[in-house]
Amino acid sequence: MGNNGKLGYLIFLWALLVAVVAMATEHRPFERTKGINGLEKIIVKDRRGRSFEVYLYGGQVTSWKNEKGEDLLFMSSKLPSNISYVAWVDLILRSSQDDLKIWPHKFEYRLRIHLGPEGDLTLTSRVKNTDVKLFNFTSGFHPYFSVSDIRLYLSTPNDIRIVDPKKKKTLVVHKEGQVDAVVWNPWEKKVSDLGVKDYKRFVAVEPVAVAKPITVNPGQEWKGTFQMTVVPST
């Protein structure tokens, strides 16, 4: 793997985030608990019952629910089920000496997961170059959206709409700082951690920056935003 892809690899496969800072409204929507296989996770809720959960191992968002308790993200059927009101959690990752053996650049990565007043979910990545020389990297989010049945989507503007007629809802994906996009589904190809018919119930729409690597100069910071909003549709 070249240098361009190594930071993306570290971000998505990181074994342990070194610090967690949680901020929320005064009704204390923040809960730290155990999840699958005993892994620690954080659940954040707003006053209307909307919520998201994120695992500290890898910073993976595994649930985003509306006020009806409906999960808008997809999880494999093989896994066990389990005035402005806003809530968020910040995850911070700083490179260690062991990391430098894998990718020889010092950096600080921050991920803010934010539940907005209308139930929208926003992920904001910040990558700061704490080294004395510039570096390049590629980046991407990897969301699986729950749908009633799969569809084919063409074109990759900054706003991508996933229309689900059966559920009468539209998921609007807005991206900034990542000019590319990947639309993916395994179709009938066998995937070990998916049920036989799971492929019919999700589509991955991934904001990425891969065609042209991102360059960050010493002391500078890159910011990428990924916002998900649900709107009704007929």
> For residue 173, what is the domain's CATH number?
2.70.98.10
Report the alpha-carbon distance of residue 219 to residue 6 in Å, rounded. 20
Range of the domain at 186: 3-232
- CB count in 10 Å sphere of residue 226: 21
Q: Is 108 considered catalytic here?
A: no
Determine contact, residues 83/155, Cβ cutoff 8 Å.
Answer: no
pLDDT reported for residue 78: 59
Q: pLDDT tens digits, residue range 96-144?
A: 999 999 999 999 999 888 877 777 889 899 999 999 999 999 988 888 7
Joined together, the tokens standing for residue 208 give 């990425």
pLDDT reported for residue 74: 67
Q: Is 174 considered catalytic here?
A: no
pLDDT reported for residue 144: 78
pLDDT at 80 over 90: no
pLDDT reported for residue 109: 93
pLDDT reported for residue 185: 80
Q: pLDDT tens digits, residue range 136-181?
A: 999 888 887 877 765 743 336 788 888 888 888 898 989 999 888 8
Pick the catalytic residue from 40, 67, 206, 221: 206
Pick the catalytic residue from 108, 118, 142, 188: 142
Determine contact, residues 135/234, Cβ cutoff 8 Å.
Answer: no
Specify the number of domains making up the chain.
Answer: 1
pLDDT reported for residue 20: 35
Q: Which residues contact 164 (CB under 8 A, 6 or more apart)?
A: 147, 148, 149, 170, 171, 233
Determine contact, residues 18/10, Cβ cutoff 8 Å.
Answer: no
Q: pLDDT tens digits, residue range 196-222?
A: 788 788 888 888 888 889 999 999 999
